[in-house]
A and B are shown apart, each in its own frame.
Chain A
Amino acid sequence: MKYEEFKKIVIETAEKKGLTDYELYYDSSESVSVDTFRDQINKFSSSTEGGVCFRTLLNGQMGYASTEDLSPEEAEAIVLRAVENAGVLESAEESFLGEAGGEYAEIKQDLQKLPSAEELVKFALAGQKIAYAADPMVIDGTSTRLMNISEKTAIFNSRGLDLSCENAATGIIAAAVVSNGKEMNNSFDIKIAPLDDALLKETVEKSVKSAVKKLGAGVAPTGAYPVVFAPEAVSALLGTFSSAFSAENAQKGLSLLAGKEGQTIASEKVTLIDDPFYAENPFRRPFDAEGMPAFRKEIISGGELKTLLYNLRTAAVAGVKTTGNASKYGYAGAVGISPFTLVLQPGELSEEELLKKAGNGVYIDSLQGTHAGANPISGDFSLQSGGFMIENGEKTGAVKGFTVAGNFFDVLKHIEALSDKPEFSSMGGQTAFAVPAILVSGLTIAGK
């Protein structure tokens, strides 16, 4: 059964039950991926996923129900389940549905014409050739994976909203495994961008190079050092702690930034922007998960916290307007809050100059276990890291097997410099990042 027919039955059922405030959210995606082992395609997969979420406001409570089963029976059942769920809720805050009439940005949806499955196969095999040719230490297990993703989101509600948006992109996932006979190491890189030969070569070779460079890595000595976080590591940190910018967390006592709007929370060098239309991000959106217009905003400007991120409900609690940051984790999730693309404004130093400024310290380009070794509420982190020592302003020996510990909110205050080159990264999650490298003073390294 098609979504449009399903939608019709849902609306009929809702009207029959006398519901006056409801929303139907639809999310579907198609993906095709090819993966390689040695010089062969060893895995191919395609998937069609999607589901709908129905929610309704009853006696001030928002009841949800969702399903992937787009059958006529489910179209009725989902309405009844949402009503039952609303009945058990005790929320003290008012809930809202999006109102129609907002102004939406025109996004040039240059819906990339995605490569065909045959082309993906060709690129994946070419990627393997490039990987094996890149270094004699490349071993089996090295793989090039190519993936097409296209997705569609639609929101309909009883207030007159009827929106939809489509996006599509191709991604390269280059995973290099290298060995020098004594030790094995791996590295992987994801690039989501229009596919061409040059991009493939660059991504695959970068992955091989970074795996090779880390062979023979020592353990960093324990101590307090200046640390240069590479863009990858800055993205990992921001991704882990961006929940602190959510007004939802602030209002629930789960963010230390509660009540800090208008105050200085970071070094004056820090300007952090949320941009739903960031050009390099193929998944740009004119509206958020409540159907409200998305827009670009400064979160931190010159160190000052300008705004937290709001959806309709939290904005009403705070007496402000929504920032259009309502989000959903999949079609079934409750409406929460998240940024689109977090852009950390670059500084003026080249990476070489940043290293010089650091003098003697540690360069970190890999942070692992952010879901475990970091506390998004307190900001404390102690994370498994990898990178290089910095000696006399230059990157020297590779180091691994150590942790870097500190507090995210202290890090924000102690950013001494930023590099001039932002790097865009997206792991396919809700939030993407465009960030430069940063220099932070005095973090604790625990190694040997």
Chain B
Amino acid sequence: MISRALCEEVLAAAASTGADYAELFAEKTFNRSVSMLDSRVQQSNDNVVAGVGIRVFKGLRSVAASTVDTSREGLLRCAGQAAAALGEGTAQISIVLRERLYGDIHPVRLVPGSFRPAEKADILKKAYFAAKNADPAIVQVQGNLLDVDHNILVANSEGVYAKDRQIRVRLTVNAVADKGEGTQTGSASPGARKGLEFFTENVDPEAVGREAARQALVMAGAGYCPAGLMPVVIDNAFGGVIFHEACGHSLEASSVAYGTSQFAGKLGQQIANEKVTAVDDGTILNAWGSINFDDEGTPSHRNVLIENGILKSYMIDKFGGRRMGMAPTGNARRESYAYVTTSRMTNTFICAGDDSNDDIISSVDFGLYAKAMGGGSVNPATGQFNFSVREGYLIRNGKVAEPVRGASLVGTGSEILMKIDMVGKELERAQGMCGSSSGSIPTDVGQPMIRVSSITVGGR
């Protein structure tokens, strides 16, 4: 990684035309993955991502430049481009870097890079064949085990010089079932900021395979979901994608700072049902979305976003914070050096409430029980979101009834938040990759079981 002295030289060059802030982000990342299909290992890939991103600010202007040429000359050229793009002027700040040891609170016992591809394939095979052999109706299975060793260095004109090594592993199994009424898929994909011990200490690979198969088999026997407005019960764990999409993205400075968020200017106001308390917490031990410090060098925090329905905080990066007049919250993230950092989520979830799951289900005469959610997306300006229901059932007379396929939920974040009128006790988190302007990053979503009093269900 780049020495402190060279960082100082490069930042000084970047700030030479009058920047009031300069930052260098260097990265060397080892991505490795093993994949299976048709009961065989079909791919074993590895990729090294290496490069540097430089940013300078002057007031409310930001310039970013990135390069794969990490030689001294390459870095100075990149810094020169940033300085030139900022305009003409003379240096206003001096660069003195002090090393920070923020520490790593996420222990890794078995560093994946020290295992051979064949050893990782053995873990994957356990999960794969548990899915494949679950039932004759399982016609295809895809499996993937990935590990990431993301080494970063952040240096900025506020004096930060800090390094972090983020190690993550994730196992994904997608099962396809066919009972003669068209194929349906099921999926399970747990991950953590941890080493390969995750697959002995936390997660049983075979259970992951079985879960993917179970879901596919249930959905393969399901009829289509009826369409219309109805109460919906959303289960815990990945169900939290509703909050991530319907609310989380609209609380990011990248839309709030420009007024293009449904929640801009609403701090201190009620934006959700009083049953709702929600948190973004990048400090959870070994969690998939956790970071020791963010990609601008700000230590990670636990930020209460909504407390009993009242909007308490946004998720803020340095540049967004300038326009908002607010301090960064440890949420600045980027996929890699090639993306421009912006405000993003880490581990975001609705906190546990006091309703029992039985009470929530039995409160619904006719509605949808979304046991497992798929992905979704949102327009932060209008708050309009959509997401798919991966495993759904109808609720009839307060009881979970037959499974239904093809359901999706659409609505507006601000409306749905007010309609979360029951919140269960069993908070769980689940892993996802969140895509936005600064690329695809690991985030956790989470919640206990919740009831939304009415929501548009797309089906047919």
- Please list the residues of chain A having a beta carbon within 8 angstroms of any beta carbon in chain B: 37, 40-51, 63-70, 74, 81, 84-92, 117, 139-141, 177, 184-186, 219, 222, 252-254, 332, 334, 368-369, 371-375, 377-378, 380, 382-384, 400-406, 444-448
Contact = CB atoms under 8 A, between A and B. Distances in A.
Which 10 interchain pairs have the tightest Cβ spacing?
Answer: A403-B458, A446-B227, A384-B386, A372-B375, A141-B260, A444-B460, A369-B386, A45-B64, A67-B48, A90-B40
B410 interface: yes
A365 to B, nearest CB: 14
Contact of B69 (A48, A219, A254): A48
A49 B338 CA distance: 7
Contact of B64 (A43, A222, A446): A43
14 contacts: A68-B68, A69-B28, A70-B68, A88-B41, A89-B43, A89-B44, A92-B40, A253-B139, A368-B377, A369-B376, A373-B408, A380-B406, A382-B458, A403-B227
A401 B456 contact: yes
B38 A92 contact: yes
Nearest to B118: A88
B65 A47 contact: yes
Contact of B85 (A89, A117, A219): A117
Nearest to A332: B47
B263 to A, nearest CB: 12
A44 to B, nearest CB: 4
B458 A377 contact: no
Nearest to B139: A253
B2 interface: no
A404 to B, nearest CB: 8
B50 interface: yes
B228 interface: yes
Contacts of A448: 229, 456
A401 B61 CA distance: 36
Contact of A380 (B67, B139, B229, B405): B405
A88 B116 CA distance: 9
A369 B387 contact: yes
Contacts of B48: 66-69, 74
Interface stretch (B156-164, B178-186, B194-202, B395-403): B178-186
A352 to B, nearest CB: 29
Interface residues of B, number: 78
Contacts of A372: 374-377, 386-388, 408
Nearest to A121: B85
A20 B450 CA distance: 60
A68 B31 CA distance: 12
Interface of B: 28, 31, 34, 37-38, 40-51, 53, 60-70, 78, 81-82, 85-86, 116-118, 121, 139-140, 176, 182-185, 227-229, 258-260, 262, 338, 340, 374-377, 379, 381-382, 384-388, 405-408, 410-412, 456-460
B117 A88 contact: yes
B66 A47 contact: yes
Nearest to B339: A47
A262 B340 CA distance: 48
B196 to A, nearest CB: 16
A48 B227 contact: no
Given A87-B118, A374-B388, A401-B411, 13 more contacts: A44-B64, A47-B65, A49-B68, A67-B50, A85-B117, A186-B379, A222-B228, A373-B408, A378-B184, A384-B408, A401-B412, A403-B227, A446-B228
A270 B407 CA distance: 29
B51 A68 contact: yes
A45 B260 contact: no
Contacts of B405: 380
Given A47-B67, A85-B46, A377-B183, A384 B375 contact: no
A401 to B, nearest CB: 6
Contacts of A252: 37-38, 140
Given A42-B62, A141-B258, A63 B384 contact: no
B201 to A, nearest CB: 24
Contacts of A64: 43-46
B49 A68 contact: yes
A375 to B, nearest CB: 7
B386 A383 contact: yes
A46 B85 contact: yes
B258 A140 contact: yes
Nearest to B120: A88
A45 B386 contact: no
Given A141-B260, A372-B374, A50 B68 contact: yes
A145 to B, nearest CB: 11
Contact of B140 (A44, A68, A91, A253): A253
Nearest to B27: A68
A438 B382 CA distance: 28
A69 B82 CA distance: 22
A120 to B, nearest CB: 11
Residue picked from B377, B410, B459, most chain A C-beta under 10 Å: B410
Which of A42, A140, A186, A219 has the most C-beta atoms of chain B within 10 angstroms of its own C-beta?
A42
Given A49-B68, A368-B377, A186 B260 contact: yes
A43 to B, nearest CB: 5
B68 A48 contact: yes
A89 B37 CA distance: 11
Contacts of A45: 63-66, 340
A37 B59 CA distance: 13
Contacts of B185: 375, 377
Given A44-B85, A64-B45, A67-B50, A403 B69 contact: no
B68 A401 contact: no
A64 B46 CA distance: 7
B408 A43 contact: no
A214 B277 CA distance: 33
Contacts of B376: 369, 372-373
